[in-house]
Amino acid sequence: GAGVSQSPSNKVTEKGKDVELRCDPISGHTALYWYRQSLGQGLEFLIYFQGNSAPDKSGLPSDRFSAERTGGSVSTLTIQRTQQEDSAVYLCASSLEGGREQYFGPGTRLTVT
Amino acid sequence: GENVEQHPSTLSVQEGDSAVIKCTYSDSASNYFPWYKQELGKGPQLIIDIRSNVGEKKDQRIAVTLNKTAKHFSLHITETQPEDSAVYFCAASTGEAGNMLTFGGGTRLMVKP
């Protein structure tokens, strides 16, 4: 079946602009995670959604980052007033409720100039 | 919080040889340990995982071992092939934030034909 999809695959933006990154999880997966992969920090957890519960935002690096999940499916990660240090690959993963296995999408490469 | 260390950062082997990648974790509450393979331009792909109630798991040429006392786990790839060349990540999870993963820094494996 279809895996996790993310769009866009690449995004170049100017410093100070806002960006939105989209994730479509695997159908039937109720848990959704955002991670960031950067050269200096490796892979780091950002935020977690489970069904309609309030998200766990403990990994978000600043209040410029926010995420929402509509209808328990598609998620959008928004970065406001982008900075050069936000340049990274943003990865989305999904899993079954209570499942430990997480399946990743291909990521969105964000470049802030 | 959890900290995962991974070694080596790069590993070069001859086709047909074995490859071993080692990880240590800090939080004794961690109970799930997946391994991911990431090819260039793609998201991480789950290749094998192990839970804390077992010491070893095999899947064809891949095996993972876990030593809970020493808090380390290893990935073993036998009869390596050029298509095994990729970056491999270990991760650990305590089950907090859903099942948020803490990743090691990655190992770039190169298999020479």
Answer yes or no: is pLDDT of A71 > 90. Answer: no
Interior angle at CA A82, CA A88 and CA B106, nearest 5: 15
Half-sphere CA count of A64, side-chain side, radius 13 A: 14
Of A91, A101, A107, the CB nearest to B46: A101
C-alpha to C-alpha distance for B54 and B2, rounded to whole angstroms: 21
- Bond into B8 cis (ω within 30): yes
Stretch A3-16: mean pLDDT: 97
High-pLDDT (> 90) share of chain B, %: 88
Contact B31, B93 (CB under 8 A): yes
CB pairs under 8 A between A and B: 62
Q: Is B51 on the interface with A (CB under 8 A)?
A: yes
Residues in A 54-113 with any Cβ partner in B closer than 8 A:
56, 58-59, 91, 95, 99-107
Which comes out higher in pLDDT, residue A98 or A48?
Answer: A48
Q: Looking at CA atoms only, how far is residue A14 from chain B in angstroms?
A: 23
Residues A106, B42: C-beta atoms closer than 8 Å: yes
Per the listing, tokens 């030593």 go with B67
Identity of the amino acid at B101:
L
Tokens of B86: 């990729």
pLDDT in tens, chain B (113 residues): 889 999 999 999 999 999 999 999 999 999 999 999 999 989 999 999 999 888 999 999 999 999 999 999 999 999 999 999 999 999 999 987 678 899 999 999 999 99
How, if at all, do strands A31-38 and A42-50 pair?
Answer: antiparallel
Contact A67, A96 (CB under 8 A): no
Q: Looking at CA atoms only, how far is residue A93 from chain B in angstroms?
A: 9
Q: Which of A68, A6, A63, A13 is nearest to A37 (CA)?
A: A6
C-alpha to C-alpha distance for A70 and B3, rounded to whole angstroms: 32
Q: Is B99 on the interface with A (CB under 8 A)?
A: yes
In which band, very low, low, confident or very high, does the pLDDT at A113 lie, cut at 50, 70 and 90? very high
B84 DSSP 8-state letter: G
